[in-house]
Each structure stands twice: as structure tokens, then as C-alpha cells.
Amino acid sequence: MRWVSNIYRLGIKEIYSLLRDPVLMGLILYTFTFAIYTVANGVKTELHNASIAIVDEDRSVLSSQLVAAFLPPYFKAPELIELSEVDPGMDKGRYTFVLDIPPRFEADVLAGRYPAIQLNVDATAMAIAGNGTHYITSILNGELLQYVSRSSADAALPVDLRVRAKFNPNLDSTWFMAVMQIINNLTILAIVLGGAAVIREREHGTLEHLLVMPVTVSEIMVAKIWANGLVIVIAAVLSLQIVVQGLLGIPITGSVLLFALGAAVYLFAVTAMGITLATVATTMPQFGLLSIPVFVVMNLLSGGITPLESMPPALQQAVQVLPSTHFIQFAQAVLYRGAGIGIVWPQLLATAVIGMAFLAFALVRFRATLAAVR
């Protein structure tokens, strides 16, 4: 009971210390409000207002029908250009897509000669190049099928394909970006606040004061973890309720309480990681430089940005040691698909086990740091 009491009292001291730090409080406020809102509205992964130019060398009814098929909000109004303007326009980045309709295209289609249409894509615009190519192909196939079916009764497709998108019916990237930004901010804030709690004690000279108090190393470290983790969990839950559901109007189908439970388990692991980095660094700038590559790797390789299935098999196995890999699977299942504890308990258990390993390693490092201060 004394161990629990000391952890509680030291944690309250950490919360008071954090509340009196205007820079860190401003960082928390910005991270879970403005940063969530702007990223969700500003970063688009679906096709929207893509620039397209068309070289119409046929000047026929069919080619005019194809030009008129590209409409907002997916595309800007198509710009009719000459063949000599294609390369200069794409070199300057004016067009993401350039469609070249060859001469005698309509006559060749009606004669069954299977003419070719050239589509030039600026593949440096990776966010929309793949999706845009799929959209343009679908638009062209639909218009050509409609045109040919006027003169051929058997031109209709033998299969009626119906697509139903689950969990995000309109394929709106705002739904994805808002929730993923909260998860990413959980990670970086846990690392920053956990490490800053140790660096702050060292820079203010209060670490020596803790050593003369009747407390153990584990009590000091666990208190820092639960205090900073509690602040982040509360901020994340409020961000889900106020920013995501309120301002952005994004529905959260799953249990926010279950998400908060998983976030608390995850934050134990990540905050312990931040404390470990703080025991290696001696100043806040050094800690910041150390934490950046750690966060970038966890962010890019945890399955939130790109699916794990697209990674090399060896890398898929390697990232299983990261707590963020399991937490992202947990959070997506709970918040997007409304999964309950009966479905996500393996991810929650894996996060807890990895968190205990990080906690044990951080305790060893933190004990060594305090021994060096003595």
C-alpha cells in the first residue's frame, strides 16, 4: 500500500508540474485540436480536383462525349491542348493526367478495330496517380460501352457488379485521417512527455531531491508514466468527442471507453520508451533528435499509413515488436468497425506484453541513471 501511495502522490506532483508548463500544455492543446482538424481536412488521399488535359485528335461525337465525362469534384474542367504541349505541360507539373485520343478513333471503334488511347500520368503525385488511373479507366470504359451499345445489342456486360464499401461508405479520407492523426499524436506525445518529465527533473536540479526522499526508483518511474499517460488519454478522448465527432462530424461507431483502455495500455509502453530515450540523452535537444527517428519508424511501419501485407515478410515480422503495430490494429477495429473486447483482446494482450518488456528495460536504464547521479 505504501508503494501505491507513493506512486499516487508522485504522480500528482507530475501532473501539477505539467500543468505549470505552458509550452507542454500548449503542445497538448494544439496537437489534439488544430493539428487534428487541419490534417483531416487538408490531407486528401482520394481523387479530388485532379488536373487533366485532353488531346482530341479525332474531333468526333465519341471524343466529345469522352471529354465531357470528366466532371467535378473528381477532376477539374478538362483542358484541350495540342499534342506538342503534352511534354512541356507535364514537365512543368501543370497536368497530372493527359489523355490522347488518336485520329479516326470513333470510326475504328465502330469498325471493331480496337484502337488504343494513351493516358499519360504524372506518377510523382503518388497520392492520386493510382486512384486517378482507376477512375479514368472506369469512366472511359463506361462511356465507350454506352456509345457502342447504341448500335450493338450484345455490347452489355454479362455481369452486374455492385460495390458496397463498409465502414466508410463514401470512401472519405477525412474519416481515416482524423482518427489516425489522433493515434499518431498519442505516440509522439507519450514519447515527448515521458522523456521531458525526466529531462525536466535533471535540468531543474530536482532529481537529487527525489533521491533523498523515501521512495524507490520504480515508484518514481511508474508515477511519471501514469501521470503523463492519464493526461494524454483524457486529451485523446476529448479530441474524439469534440473535434472528430463534433467539428468534423465523423461518426465513431465503437466504444470510446474501450479505446481509452487500449490507449492507456499502449501509453505505458510508449511512455516507458520515452523515459528510456531520456536516460540516454542529457539535454532536451538531444532527446528531441533521438525521438524523431523512433517516432518516424513507428509511424510509417506500424500499418497505419501502408498495410502490413505490402511490406517484405521479414519486415512484417520485425515490426511485431513495436507496440504501435498492435495498437493501430486495435484502434482501427474499435473505432472504425465497432469491435468489442471479444475481438480485439489479442491485440490488447500483445500491446500489454510488449509494454511490460519496455517498462522493465526502462526501469533498468532509469535505475542506472539515478545511480550515476548519486
Query: Which residues, 6+ apart, have CB-to-CB distance to 121 below 8 Å?
Result: 96, 97, 129, 132, 133
What does the pLDDT average to over 70-86?
91
Ranges of H-type helices in the chain: 2-19, 22-31, 34-42, 61-68, 86-91, 105-110, 126-149, 173-204, 207-211, 217-239, 256-280, 284-300, 313-318, 323-335, 341-373
Q: Is the pLDDT of residue 156 over 90?
A: no
In the chain, what percentage of residues exceed pLDDT 70?
93
How does residue 154 score in pLDDT terms, banded at 50, 70 and 90? low
Candidates 3.40.50.150, 3.40.1710.10, 3.30.565.10, 3.10.20.600; correct CATH number of 52-155? 3.40.1710.10
How does residue 157 score in pLDDT terms, banded at 50, 70 and 90? low
Q: Is the pLDDT of residue 209 over 60?
A: yes
Domain ranges, ordered by start, for the chain: 2-43+172-373, 52-155
Say what the pLDDT of residue 210 is: 66
296-316, pLDDT tens digit by residue?
888 888 887 778 888 888 988
Q: Is the pLDDT of residue 240 over 80?
A: yes
How does residue 372 score in pLDDT terms, banded at 50, 70 and 90? low
Say what the pLDDT of residue 54 is: 95
Say what the pLDDT of residue 158 is: 59
Reduced to 3 states (helix: H, G, I; strand: E, B; else coil), residue 338 is coil
Q: Is the pLDDT of residue 239 over 90?
A: yes
- Segment among 15-29, 37-51, 60-74 with least mean pLDDT: 37-51
Which grid cell sits at 19? 500543468
| DSSP state string for 223-289 | HHHHHHHHHHHHHHHHHIIIIIIIIS-----S-HHHHHHHHHHHHHHHHHHHHHHHHH-SSHHHHHH
Say what the pLDDT of residue 69 is: 93
